[in-house]
Amino acid sequence: MVVKDLISDKIPCLKTSDTGDKVLDWMEEFKVGHLPIVNEKQYLGLLSENDVLSAEGMDQPVGDYPLTLPVTLWIYDHQHVYDAIRLMALWNLSVLPVIDADNNYIGMVTREDLVLAMAKFFAAEEPGGIIILEIPHNSYNLSEIARIVESNDAKILSLYISSLPESLAYQVTLKLNISELTRTLGTFERFGYKVMMSFFDKAQLDDTTDRYNLLMRYLNT
């Protein structure tokens, strides 16, 4: 999935003549803390709520505001969604401006857009169990993990890897297409894998599904 698949047209961009009062009204209405400033198709920068609150007057045009965020803080529409996630997490952004190959502003990606994208990446809506493994860096072998799962008549729907802090090990999260994981867990343990956690009984899965549905309803209100 690339960034252009997530561009939102629900939130307007700012013109240089817009005032601080208007900016704060829009930020409140759309529940964001940042808005891009655009002159026709030219992207000029990303205005934060703190920039507005630090200004001398709310009637001042935003074109005169000093911006605290780098003016190069944007992403191309052909880049992968993971790049957008990285930038938004690094700068703690609520929206990320998107430009095309000609450096024209074409829209923005919101934090909610990325949450929905991540849910699809991790197959959050699909039924199945979750296994979390701790694997030393030098022992990680994706083909062996897949072989163990498939030997128990299961498939990997999604896989996520993160490094454990102060450790030479990965935390590997597997989402499988089956809810009964007893055999699969036993096979992992026989092959010397450390199972950190697993979620597979109906109550746990129903609770996870309920939490996901609540999050989706909140994001769409």
Helix/strand/coil percentages in the chain, nearest 5 = 40, 30, 35
CA-CA distance, 38 to 14, in Å (whole number)?
A: 6
pLDDT for 9 equals: 79
- Domain 124-219 fold: Alpha-Beta Plaits (3.30.70)
Instruction: Kindly tell me if the per-residue pLDDT of 219 is higher than 60.
Output: no
Domain 3-119 fold: CBS-domain (3.10.580)
Residues 37, 15 contacting (CB under 8 angstroms): yes
Handedness of CA 38, 48, 112, 198 (dihedral sign): positive
DSSP secondary-structure letter at 182? H
Which residues does residue 156 pair with via DSSP β-bridges, in sequence order?
A: 176
pLDDT 10s digits, 74-103 = 999 999 888 898 899 899 999 999 999 888
- Over range 66-75, report the average pLDDT: 92
| Domain positions in the chain | 3-119, 124-219
Tell me what the mean pLDDT of segment 116-122 comes to: 70
Give the global pTM: 0.65
